[in-house]
Amino acid sequence: MNGQVKRLIEVDLPIRRISEHARNEKDSRCGHIPRLHIYPAARPLAACRAVVCAAMWLDPADPICPEYFRDQARAEMLAWTAYERQKLLSSESRKRFEAARKYPALFKDSEQLRGALLDFIADFSNWDNSAKPAFLNTTHALTQAAHVALGGEEGTRPLLVDAFAGGGAIPLEGLRVGADVFASDSNPLAVLINKVVIQYAPKFGERLAAEVTRWGKEVNNEARKSLGRFFPEETNGRTPIAYLWARTILSEAPDSSGDPVEVPLIRSMWLSRKGELIALRWKRSRGGIVQTETNDVLYANGRRIKVRRPILEVYEPSSSSEVERGTVARNSATCPVTGYTTPARRVQAQLMERFGGALDSRLYCVVSVKRGQAGRFYTIPTESQLSAYDRALKEFYRCRETVEDGFAIFPGEYLPPMSGVFNAPLYGHSTWGSLFNARQLLALSTYVRIARKTISNALSESREWGTALGAVLGLVIDRLADLNASLCVWQLSTPNTAHVFGRWALPMIMDYGEVNPLAGAGGSPESAVWRVAASLKDIAVAIDHTGEVNICSAETHPLPADSADLFVTDPPYYNAVPYADISDFFYVWLRRTVGNLFPDLFKGELTPKEMEICEMAGWDPVRYGHKDKAFFERKMAEASVRAREFLKPSGIGVVVFAHKTTSGWEALLQAIISAGWTITASWPIDTEMASRLRAKNSAALASSVHLVCRPRENPDGSVRRDIVGDWRDVLQELPRRIHEWMPRLAEEGIVGADAIFACLGPALEIFSRYSCVEKASGEAVTLKEYLEHVWAAVAKEALAMVFRGADATGFEEDARLTAMWLWTLRTGEGNGNGSVSDEESEEDDQKGSQKGGVAGFVLEYDAARKIAQGLGAHLEDLTSLVEIKGDSARLLPVAERTHALFGKDEAQAPNSSKRKKDKQLKLGFEAELEAAEESGEWGQKGIPKVGTTVLDRVHQSMILFAAGRGEALRRFLIDEGIGRDERFWRLAQALSALYPSGTDERRWVEGVQARKKGLGF
């Protein structure tokens, strides 16, 4: 990039402030595209907006920055020194602009001008400012100034291209900042979303919002006529808003007599935990026997059989201890009548026979509201409510072969199983339509029919208008499908039904909530329409021109060479999400709604899969055996080559990635560098919420890392292959670059895994500026080999920061590894609220697991290996500290090290999962301490055997403190002289800062530190 002026994003970025706005936006969903339609890995608009601005605009402090841009930027920033504009700025930015108001010459200083631009970007990333004319006008002026300064013609806009447009966040923000946009994707769902976002909403936004709102009222009236008999009102003036269902099996108790017992698969007997406590219980006789009633049931496999159904009743428990456990745990089912537990494989087999069991589930509770009364009412379903569903079931069977406009009204397209992602098919859900019960299918097909009628009327007025309205109504139907399926969990904390894709998978849900679509509550057409209309209005207010959308693969992109100014994209995350397969859930409904309107998008029964660039072999080796790591690297390299070709020589690229595995990262980086790009910077922006308990104590990447890159080209556009780097020079420069970068990241609050990946940019700039790096022998250095050195350099620098610049080599390898391991886990600490979904908490209760699931501190094995290797340690030699299982590695909790630290024979350390109940004391390691005392190793008046390393001694002191062995701890620290070792206290201090807040380890090490002064140290 010699001779090319730097962009702001290559120099600096206010990451902390942008991350804060991104988190707030993603949490509230205000104005976010998922209001229109959800899509995997949706980018927060705040992050996209900031990145596009910083990539478009030039760095005024660069010596070769054109004076034209400096003058324009200075004028725009000086305009913000006016009082009325300053009020729009944050207090953090206002200081700089207030100073410039008093001293206008301040912005003649290029460094100050750069700071003002970065402050402006941080404030513009706030959603509250995204549609304010003052911000939009300034942004457009700066974008135009940068465009002209780089040789663009007056009156034209720079062109931003996103070849993996996905949910449309990047293209939308490209339009917002004043660029022309070309968005493309190989996924028809993504293309349709982008058409609405950057084509139809900017042009027809207000009109579309009004029309879709009108349609919402119309569809409710028309649907009530055809669906009302399936959703009856209650006679007491209450309106049902949700119905709670459980799939069922027949108990396989070997000693049962008479009619078989039907077991409803209920995960939790709780109905509400918010405000009022409401639960279910089995109706029992005075002798405690669960009462049953005999029913004649027609199952989905065509069998009609008499069964005994255990009777439920609703009550208000006075405490949690009163509430019984559900019948299903880890997909095995316990019969409340016989007590027999049918194993999971037999539960699976029974549901397989009945195509997943959605059609013949048992309705066990109705949730209602009453006008003028607060709260919800929970009742056992009445006979009329049960009969209403029977009518729906008969209607479903009557019209299930119906074809309208060339499509079967109910989706019969094949739903394949996919390991760890699509588990519902393992229980009989073999078609996309089988994921819905009879009423849900009738309701959705009714909405589709009404939507097609509305679209037909609009087309008679104008093809363009009818197409735009049709696209929006198609997205509304998709929203309703996501909220009205038999995979929607009833959330106890809300209480409400969740949508299907709380995470991007199709797990089997044994009990689910069904929305009453005629009640106007969440999941109804009115609710969906309100959100869609709001999003359309948001876009219309802020965007004044449209973009272009195309369906094509990234590696065969149609743009001509040297035509784009900026390439910003968020490519598939290696093997994180099966985008195309998940999209089929929506595709089958879109095809029925607007398939004839967009024939180029909906050619096949399902989304095209061959063009998708994902590593899929691990999920589905039968269909995707060829889509392995090599496939991903090859296709990403082809896509990267194509992007470099259509980007101007002066252009810049930004690639977003958030995969947490090192293999995923290496695959992407290899593809980018092989394609002829030089990576110049990397910025982690916090876009992922670590709010789930399962994310605690694991190094899930909390940020999306934005890799900034430039074409490594000759003047004729060919890749430069004549720049050979010296391996020794690269290795000398690497630690210096990491040393410059890490403290800067720490100032922005970026630590742990995020900091490791954020260092990739500056580290790879050294390596990727060359077409090849060679050793003295002439052997070429591979990227994989270089990344090993990067990890080592990062580990060294991180340790220097952890120990505040002290020499970490004074500690043994176990202490250095522990410190670096815990530092890596600090990613995102404090961002989440520690909440856990109802299904997770119930599952943990059933397993009897401790809060947080698996104890210890977990990393991906390959990441742990690289950290250890960078510190000169080997995981396999530290078995008393680290446990390796499969593709993960666990730093053992201190309690699990008790036997290794105090016992005679480490090999005889008991497995904590097999301890006898009499050893399950308040602290599980107390029994082991007692055993160590009894063995004669040490006693209450004696001194424990001193550990061999500083870390061992700190951990020993922590265990003694936790067990209340104050005298032993005193003697350990004083008589053995452990407390006189300065390294002991230095390591304890470091660990107290590294252990996650709320953990036992943090509390114990702080307890030991608190004894320091009292013991005379």
Asked, as a colleague might, if the bond just before 63 is cis with ω within 30 of 0, I would say no
* Predicted local distance difference test score (pLDDT) of residue 850: 33
Lowest mean pLDDT among 93-107, 377-391, 459-473, 846-860: 846-860
pLDDT at 251 over 70: yes
pLDDT at 701 over 60: no
DSSP character at residue 200: I
* Predicted local distance difference test score (pLDDT) of residue 847: 30
Place 698 in a pLDDT band, splitting at 50, 70 and 90.
very low
Lowest mean pLDDT among 33-47, 127-141, 580-594: 33-47
pTM given for the model: 0.86
SS3 33: helix
pLDDT at 351 over 60: yes
Query: Of 420 and 431, which is predicted with more confidence?
Result: 431
SS3 940: coil
Closest CA to 113 of 129, 136, 97, 94: 97
Query: Of 463 and 33, which is predicted with more confidence?
Result: 463
Closest CA to 177 of 292, 278, 3, 48: 48
pLDDT at 846 over 80: no
CA dihedral angle for residue 88, residue 130, residue 170, residue 832, rounded to 10 degrees = 80
Instruction: Please state, in angstroms and rounded to a whole number, the distance separating the CA atoms of residues 986 and 990.
Output: 6
Bridge partners, residue 860, by sequence = 888
Mean pLDDT along residues 794-822? 79
Place 258 in a pLDDT band, splitting at 50, 70 and 90.
confident
Burial group, residue 268, by CB count within 10 angstroms (0-12, 13-18, 19+):
buried
Contact of 369 with 239, CB cutoff 8 Å? yes
pLDDT at 696 over 60: no
State what percent of residues in the chain have pLDDT above 90.
58
State what percent of residues in the chain have pLDDT above 70.
90
Closest CA to 717 of 649, 624, 780: 649
User: 639-675: b or e for each residue (b if 16 or more CB lie within 10 Å)?
Assistant: bbbbbbbbbbebbbbbbbbbbbbbbbbbbbbbbbbbb
* Predicted local distance difference test score (pLDDT) of residue 665: 76
Mean pLDDT along residues 829-848? 32
- Name the range with the highest mean pLDDT among 444-458, 706-720, 903-917: 444-458
- Please enumerate in sequence order all residues whose Cβ is within 8 A of that of 982, keeping only pairs 6 or more positions apart, or say none: none
Residue 140 to residues 174, 176, 218, 543, 566: CA-CA distances in angstroms? 11, 8, 40, 11, 15
Lowest mean pLDDT among 481-485, 578-582, 650-654, 787-791: 787-791
Query: Of 866 and 804, which is predicted with more confidence?
Result: 866
* Predicted local distance difference test score (pLDDT) of residue 916: 38
Lowest mean pLDDT among 55-64, 266-275, 468-477, 909-918: 909-918
pLDDT at 830 over 50: no
* Predicted local distance difference test score (pLDDT) of residue 577: 87
pLDDT at 838 over 60: no
- Name the range with the highest mean pLDDT among 72-81, 712-721, 795-804: 72-81
Lowest mean pLDDT among 108-112, 336-340, 820-824, 907-911: 907-911
pLDDT in tens, 104-134: 889 999 999 999 999 999 999 999 999 999 9
Mean pLDDT along residues 252-273? 90
pLDDT at 721 over 90: no
Closest CA to 111 of 54, 157, 70: 70
Residue 523 to residues 479, 484, 894: CA-CA distances in angstroms? 8, 7, 47
Mean pLDDT along residues 774-785? 91
Mean pLDDT along residues 966-973? 89
Place of tokens 């990946």: 757
